[in-house]
Amino acid sequence: MSTAIAIVVLRDLWSSVILSGIFSLISAGLFVVMDAVDVAFTEAAVGAGVSTVLMLGTLALTDTSEKRSDRFQVLPLLVVLLTGAALIYSTLDMPHYGDPYAPIHLGEPANTYIYKSSNEIGVPNIVTSVLASYRGYDTLGETVVIFTAGIGVLLLLRRSCEMDQEGKTCVNEESHS
Amino acid sequence: MPNLGLFNYWVVIVLMMTGFYTVIARGNLIKKLIGLNVFQVSVFMLYISMANVKGGTAPIIFEGAKIYSNPLPHVLILTAIVVGVSTTSLGLALVVRIKEAFGTIEEDDIRRLEEEA
Amino acid sequence: MIADHLLILQVIVPLLAAPLCVVLRHRMLVRLFAVLVGWVVFAIAIMLLTRVLNAGTVDYNLGNWAVPWGIECRLDSLNAFVLLIVSGIAAVVLPFAPHTVKDEVSGDKQYLFFAAFLLCLTGLLGITITWDIFNMFVFLEISSLSACALISMGRSRRALTAAYQYLVMGTIGSTFILIGIGLMYMMTGTLNISDLNDRLQRLIIVNQVPMFVNQTRTVIAAFAFLTVGISIKLALFPLHAWLPNAYTFAPSMVTAFLASTATKVSFYVLLRVIFTVFGVTFAFQSMQLNTWLMPLALVGIYIASTVAIYQNNVKRLLAYSSVAQIGYMVLGLSFVSVTGLTSSIVHLFNHALMKGGLFLAMGCIMLRLGSVQLQDMKGLGRRMPLTMAAFVVGGLNLIGVPMTAGFISKWYLILAALEQGLWLVAVLSLFSSLLAVVYVWRVVEVAYFQEPERPAGGELRRLNEAPVSMLLPTWMILGASLVFGVYTEFPVGVARRAAEMLMGVGS
Amino acid sequence: MISEDAVLLSLGLPLGAAVLISMLGRWPNFRETVTLLAAACLFVTVCTLVPAVMADGRPEVNLLDMFPGLPVGFKVEPLGMLFALVASGLWIVTSIYSIGYMREHHEQNQTRFFVCFAIAIAAVMGVAFSRNVLTLFIFYEALTFSTYPLVTHHSTDKAKRAGRIYLGVLLSTSVLFLLLATIWTWHLTEPHSLEFTKGGLLSNMGSDTIRQQPWVVGILLALFAFGTGKAALMPFHCWLPAAMVAPTPVSALLHAVAVVKVGVFTIMKVVIYVFGIDLLTDTGMSLWLMYVAGATIMIASLVALTKDNLKERLAYSTISQLAYIVLGVALANASGVIGGGMHILMHAFGKITLFFCAGAIMISAHKTRVSELNGLGRTMPFTMAAFAVGALSVIGLPPLGGSWSKWYLALGTAEAGQLPLLATLMVSSLLSIAYLMPISIRAFFLEPSASDVHGDNYHVHTGIREAPISCVVPPCITALGCVVLFFFAERAYQLLIPIVS
Amino acid sequence: MKRHYIVRVISKLLIPCIFLFALYVQFHGDYGPGGGFQAGVIFASGIVLYTLVVGLDRAQQAFHPRIIEILVAIGVLIYGSVGIWCLASGGKFLDYNALADDPVRHPQHGQHLGILLVELGVGITVAAAVVSIFFAFVNRGRS
């Protein structure tokens, strides 16, 4: 949590990027504590790994320190406080942390996932079976998202200096105007 | 003190808002993305903590375990994480291009440049 | 055998077509392939709609897992209609693409461009057919990421910032939606839409007190987060900041496609969440949503139209008018009556047609003239007669002149207002259409009653009319808008059915 | 049945003509031939309908159902019959005139001009025959848009400004009030309907709201009356003087006959067939309309006195004359309505004559101001004679058509016991003498002003110098028409009687 | 990094292990934590490290961008075609039971097969996507 605060405060982008990496790592730890090993695994690999690497890569291409913006906006603060208030408000009727009688633990679909999946799917790791079979369609979507991101980045960053059929010369993105 | 059980949600919410604030208040494009990350990760925490059950174990079936935490949120969050990283990478790519086109990644400067253009 | 799986094929076909584009890579091949896919998807949509109209809703359990364990796709008269719009627009826009894409995206990237386009289509279709709220979120992300990539392909460097803005605001929106989903899931333990609706009315014990799920503060907050999140995606005033830039600087065809589909699908999601998930009683009696939406819509209509009047970039002008038109749809919704919903659903359809057509016309002008600034369009009526004629038709649609589709929407909107006895609203919304007259007529006057000033000394560069492959789609869409302005049985009929279904009356 | 086809034909002819004209743009002579032929055929077609209507037949055609239970279609009834006759008949004369005029003036975009003209006529026919308010509204708007290019024809800044006013006033009134009123009527009727029904739609099928709150009728009437901006009822009259920048044939046919008459015609149709005279007399909700009309009559006449520009003076006289018709309707009694109906006919002939002459003067003597007309009667005897006749008819002196309609109107006011309005009619007739007669007097009895003697128009002394024949014959014909109508007014009366009985 | 021998040697030793671990995660996902996605990321990180060590050019020789790009597509295609295969073999979309030789008595076989393939698809896409994104960034930085 202090990390998060630090991220906001810090102006040097290098350290805030590293910090966000650490933040992901910590949260991964928290996930383990909360019995979400797969998520923790992923978060560690992605948050601490991929994102950080990419961000560092970006920093290498852009500025490394943030300009001090003297303007202090009230509006964002208000929005944030409002949203936070709404969330706190929402918690008041929530089932407590780890409460086994919470709606999501009672009844379907959770129980089937837990007790039937082993013979419906025959895979010990329930997460995997839910991920790949019960909600396989979601995972397909997820894969497509990654694919989209890949395409998007290529569209944006790949240099294209090949001659077109129309004989148009090298299209440099720098020549934006 | 019934609300003790909600304490960890509140922590999550505070985290969320920190991220959210960074997104909408900071002028630096990269910083915005970092904030977005924090925001999303804390939303993930919300999901994961709702999945947890007292005395439960990770939802991997093995002998001697009776109570498992709810696997569904885990799955959802796995997907959400992927979505998050995709967004981040695309955003970063955009930042790089913006830097090339405008020579800065500060919102104010860019806005000024656009007004001139 | 295919017939049973049409519903899922609707999404899978473009979904698999996108990676195939990447594998194919060859420019012409990809273009043809994309067009082909577009029309196949359209055909599927038509078949599905006919089936829904004849045989009622169509269900599809993915992986053959029963609800609530698996993900379900369901098609009723509402989303079948939306499906038709989205796929239809895509089918018309794709043949339009090559000429414009040619001078906006460099040759060796076009296959990526088309792949992204197909992905965007996939996302929108996926959102439309799915009956699982989290799945909706996933496809929402697919569409918005690909849309962001497409927008950033615009010529001007401002396209980049526009795309960034779109990405950030869009992600905030979807994260809000994610929070909303989470809170709702927390209280109900399910993600399937009809299941949610059912469980929201159950009793549960909260802090040792029994109460209905949809009375818990958690669900109320969930409702708020979902509404706000979707409104961002919908560019509902005052959350529309991302839209004008995105539409102005995106490549022509992308603008045409997004303008006539993306916001429509978001509006569909709004309808679905409000009416099918939470239900009329909760949304409008407990939450009083309409008391929020109606003023917002009206203010949005007026401010957006007024801003539109002062734009000199016609694309931006149209973008602001889009914001205003979204206001009309939301206004229709906020009447909470069958007629009101009919009006907004019909307008959803008509506006897709007219805005699509208008932006395609802009594309033609952009191609030939190289600019869509008002002062460059002097005398264009004589230089590009067909294109400008198309623009006029679209403009008349926007104004809502009789015998155009726009008139039908207006008619039902006013009728709905009168049914509710909301005089002021009726008069205001009529008056706002006069603003549309102003901003459309500015363009018409410049194009028809002003002589293009010749460049100093040099002779006026003569323009030839846009290529057929672009004029044809433009006129197809606008022709449709004229036809449906006269033969209204189809759109109005379907819309009314959908509206009755949402309000839970009649069939 | 034959008359159904005739109805469709009377719309199809002008439209077909428009298409042909736009294609024949390169060969002016063919183009003009098409116009003339179309006009002639149209008139004949409309005439074939007369017997059927006289025999209480109501030929009707449906084009399509725009909304469930709300068709777009046509149904000929006496009032519309009369109006269609006037418009189509005068189209022939006008097209002869406009051909000469446009060529003499070497106008630009003549093709566009004739195309729009034909479309406008088609729209007028649509209005005249429309079977319900929706159809009427559709063609009303069509007329607005098709005449816009005619107003901005010269595409000078002045013309464009005029066009803006024209479009602005007509569109905003129609969209804000007329459309609202239409939808409201649809909403108020049980079962929903917009059909023009004998005796009044609202009084037959109006839901309880009507009976419980008569003020609704008042508001609705106001919406309709002000919604038809084309009726140039004050304060929504300013578009008409503005529209005078258009070429004279346009002012002649459209802004003295077709467009403005469409306005008053709409009001008449609505009052007679939507409200029903009885409903209005019972609720007395049309009283205010009488006074608005009366005020318009007076004010417009007074303004006309002050105008020196000939066409503008005529425009204001048109405004006041239109108010006569509205007044007749608002009186909501037989004589009033009949008088109004006849005035559509009579005033049409009179006023178009005046405009023709104005145009002719503009062509040959290049004069647009009243003060320049001294002694013109010597050089342009036929034109000025026709002018005099038309003027007298508009004033309403026997033996000219105008006298009948005024007579019935006066009768109507008397029956309604509205003596102040009766006085208004009298006074305004005097005023009309005051603003029309001087023109003839100057032309015939005054010496040409000195400037002309030495000016370039030396022809003042060189005997007769008329405008081209095709610009002189039409005014003479219409002037003759004024005389003839005095003796055949009976026919019109017979035609109109059914709508009030 | 051409001159830091220690780093190079160590990473040379490390990289194969990383790939091995990635494969383990990929195919052991059914039993322990992990699965296609994590495996993909790890695999990609291996390649990233390799790139850092040997430099971009040699890395791109080893893993040609075009190949990677196609692999991104292939992954999705695998996933989708599994679904289509289910359709073809008479089930619903992604209904793995239909893949089993004997759907009635041993649907698990089908499920196993399906999940395996699907995870493979995910793995390939993720790995390829991450790598190509990384390459894109680095390329941009160089020229």
Residue A101 lies in a domain: no
- Per-residue tokens: E136: 């894109």
Pick A46 or D457 by higher pLDDT. A46
Residue B66 lies in a domain: yes
pLDDT for the residue numbered A3: 63
pTM: 0.90
pLDDT for the residue numbered C314: 92
Give the residue from D116, D139, D175, D213 with the most C CB atoms within 10 Å of its CB, the best one to mutate.
D175
Examine chains E and D and say if they touch (3+ CB pairs below 8 A). Answer: no
User: How many C-beta atoms surround the C-beta of residue D463 within 10 A?
Assistant: 8
pLDDT for the residue numbered A174: 38
- Look at residues C396, C390, C378 and name the one whose alpha carbon lies nearest to residue C437: C396
The ipTM of this complex is 0.86
Examine chains A and D and say if they touch (3+ CB pairs below 8 A). Answer: no
pLDDT for the residue numbered C370: 82
Q: In this complex, do C182 and B43 lie within 8 Å of one another by their Cβ atoms?
A: yes
CA dist A32 and A37 (Å) reads 5
**Residue C506 binned pLDDT confidence (cut-offs 50, 70, 90):** low
pLDDT for the residue numbered A9: 65
Residue A161 lies in a domain: yes
Closest CB to C64: pick one of E74, E84, E97.
E97
Kindly state the average pLDDT of the residues A52-80: 78
Q: Which H or E element spans position D60?
A: strand D60-67
Chains A & E: contacts with CB separation below 8 Å: 141
Which residues, 6 or more positions from B98, have their beta carbon under 8 angstroms from its beta carbon? B29, B105, B110, C160, C161, C164
pLDDT for the residue numbered C456: 63
pLDDT digits over D471-485, tens only?
Answer: 888 888 888 888 888
CA dist A107 and C139 (Å) reads 28
Kindly state the average pLDDT of the residues C213-242: 88
Q: Tell me whether the omega of the peptide bond preceding residue D475 falls within 30 degrees of 0, making it cis.
A: no
**Residue C455 binned pLDDT confidence (cut-offs 50, 70, 90):** low
pLDDT for the residue numbered D32: 82
pLDDT for the residue numbered E24: 86
Task: Report the domain count for chain C.
Answer: 1
Residue D490 lies in a domain: yes
Residue D463 lies in a domain: yes
pLDDT for the residue numbered E126: 92
Q: Using a CB–CB cutoff of 8 Å, tell me whether C120 touches chain B.
A: no
Cα–Cα distances (Å) from D381 to C125, C481, D185, D387, D466, in that order, read: 77, 56, 53, 10, 8
Q: In this complex, do E92 and C22 lie within 8 Å of one another by their Cβ atoms?
A: no
Percent of chain E with pLDDT over 70: 96
Q: Using a CB–CB cutoff of 8 Å, tell me whether B82 touches chain A.
A: yes
The parent domain of residue B25 ranges over: 7-116
| Domain endpoint, select from A18, A33, A63 | A63
Q: Checking DSSP bridges between strand C203-206 and strand C209-212, what pairing results, if any?
A: antiparallel
pLDDT for the residue numbered E36: 83
Q: Using a CB–CB cutoff of 8 Å, tell me whether E142 touches chain B.
A: no
Residue A167 has pLDDT above 60, yes or no: no
pLDDT for the residue numbered C83: 92
pLDDT for the residue numbered C343: 94
Percent of chain C with pLDDT over 90: 50
Q: What would you report as the CA-atom Rg of chain A, rounded to the nearest whole angstrom?
A: 23
Q: Mean pLDDT of all residues in chain C?
A: 88
Residues 296-315 of chain C whose Cβ lies under 8 A from any Cβ of chain A: none
Residues of chain D with pLDDT under 50: 1, 453-455, 457-461
Q: Which H or E element spans position D73?
A: strand D70-75
Chains B & C: contacts with CB separation below 8 Å: 69
Percent of chain B with pLDDT over 70: 92
Residue A175 has pLDDT above 60, yes or no: no
Task: Report the domain count for chain B.
Answer: 1
User: How many C-beta atoms surround the C-beta of residue C391 within 10 A?
Assistant: 29
**Residue B2 binned pLDDT confidence (cut-offs 50, 70, 90):** very low
- Per-residue tokens: D480: 């003759």
> What distance lies between CA D81 and its chain's CA centroid?
14
CA dist D356 and D375 (Å) reads 19
Cα–Cα distances (Å) from D454 to C25, C295, C446, D450, D458, in that order, read: 85, 70, 44, 7, 7
Residue A177 has pLDDT above 50, yes or no: no
**Residue A74 binned pLDDT confidence (cut-offs 50, 70, 90):** confident
Residue C37 has pLDDT above 90, yes or no: yes
**Which CATH number fits the domain that encloses residue B66?**
1.10.287.3510
Pick D225 or A1 by higher pLDDT. D225
Residue C48 lies in a domain: no
Residue A15 lies in a domain: yes
Q: Using a CB–CB cutoff of 8 Å, tell me whether E80 touches chain C.
A: yes
Residue C144 has pLDDT above 90, yes or no: yes
Give the residue from C161, C242, C248 with the most B CB atoms within 10 Å of its CB, the best one to mutate.
C161
Residue with tokens 């293009």: C452
Chain A residues whose CB is inside 8 A of the E136 CB are 153-154, 156-158
Residue A165 has pLDDT above 60, yes or no: no
Q: Searching chain C, which residue's CA lies closest to the CA of residue E70?
A: C23
- Look at residues D354, D346, D400, D348 and name the one whose alpha carbon lies nearest to residue D373: D354
Q: Which H or E element spans position C247?
A: helix C242-249
pLDDT for the residue numbered C470: 87
Backbone φ/ψ region at E103: left (φ over 0), alpha (ψ -120 to 50), beta: alpha
Examine chains B and A and say if they touch (3+ CB pairs below 8 A). Answer: yes
pLDDT for the residue numbered A170: 41
Residue B2 lies in a domain: no
User: How close does chain E come to A70, measured CA to CA in Å?
Assistant: 31
Residue D418 lies in a domain: yes
**Residue A162 binned pLDDT confidence (cut-offs 50, 70, 90):** very low
CA dist C220 and C218 (Å) reads 5
Residue C7 and residue C75 in contact, taking contact as beta carbons nearer than 8 Å: yes
Residue A108 lies in a domain: no
**Burial label, C176 (beta-carbon count in 10 A; 0-12, 13-18, 19+):** buried
Residue D308 and residue D370 in contact, taking contact as beta carbons nearer than 8 Å: yes
CA dist D227 and D264 (Å) reads 11
Task: Report the domain count for chain D.
Answer: 1
The parent domain of residue C491 ranges over: 313-455+462-507
Q: Using a CB–CB cutoff of 8 Å, tell me whether C500 touches chain D.
A: no
Closest CB to E70: pick one of C15, C23, C61.
C23
pLDDT digits over B42-70, tens only?
Answer: 899 888 888 877 777 777 777 666 777 88
Residue C247 lies in a domain: no
The parent domain of residue A152 ranges over: 122-177
Residue with tokens 């239900």: C279
pLDDT for the residue numbered D26: 79
Kindly state the average pLDDT of the residues B7-18: 84
Residue A40 lies in a domain: yes
**Residue C507 binned pLDDT confidence (cut-offs 50, 70, 90):** very low
Residue D83 lies in a domain: no
**Burial label, D169 (beta-carbon count in 10 A; 0-12, 13-18, 19+):** buried
pLDDT for the residue numbered A6: 65
CA dist A117 and A105 (Å) reads 15
pLDDT digits over B68-117, tens only?
Answer: 788 888 889 989 999 999 999 999 999 999 888 888 888 888 888 877 76
Which residues, 6 or more positions from D80, have their beta carbon under 8 angstroms from its beta carbon? D128, D129, D130, D265, D269
Residue D310 lies in a domain: yes
| Exposure string over D130-165, b if 16+ CB within 10 A, otherwise e | bbbbbbbbbbbbbbbbbbbbbbbbbbeeebbebbbb
- Look at residues D347, D349, D346, D324 and name the one whose alpha carbon lies nearest to residue D337: D324
User: How close does chain E come to A144, measured CA to CA in Å?
Assistant: 7
The residues pairing with D206 across neighbouring beta strands, listed in sequence order, are: D189
Q: Using a CB–CB cutoff of 8 Å, tell me whether B41 touches chain C.
A: no
Q: Mean pLDDT of all residues in chain D?
A: 83
Residue A33 lies in a domain: yes
Q: What is the DSSP letter of C130?
A: B
Residue with tokens 């910083």: B31
Residue C378 has pLDDT above 70, yes or no: yes
Residue D339 and residue D405 in contact, taking contact as beta carbons nearer than 8 Å: yes
Q: In this complex, do B60 and E33 lie within 8 Å of one another by their Cβ atoms?
A: yes
Residue C345 lies in a domain: yes
